[in-house]
Amino acid sequence: MPVEPWVHGELSGGLARRVRETDPESLSGPPLEGAGGRGAISRVEIGGRPFLLKRERRGGMAGRFLPDLYRDLRPFAREWEVARRLAALDLTPPLAARWFVPRAGGFRVWTLLVPAEGARSLLDLLREEGLTREPLEEAGGLVGRLHGFGLLHGDLNAGNLIRIPEGVWRILDLRHSGLYPALPGEARRANLLRLARSLHKSSLRFGLPLDPKAPGWLLRGYGAGFGVEDPWLPALEARIRRGFPVRSLLYR
The Cβ of residue 246 has, within 10 Å, a number of other Cβ atoms equal to 8
Q: What is the number of residues in the chain?
A: 252
| E-state strands within the chain | 3-7, 40-46, 49-55, 95-103, 106-113, 120-121, 151-152, 161-163, 169-171, 178-179
* 40 close to 57: Cβ distance less than 8 angstroms: yes
Interatomic CA distance for residues 251 and 246, integer angstroms: 10
The bridge status of strand 40-46 relative to strand 106-113 is unpaired
Residues with catalytic roles: 155
* 82 close to 68: Cβ distance less than 8 angstroms: no
* 226 close to 141: Cβ distance less than 8 angstroms: no
> Nearest-CA neighbor of 140 among 166, 169, 115?
169
Return the SS3 of 244.
Answer: coil
* 69 close to 106: Cβ distance less than 8 angstroms: yes
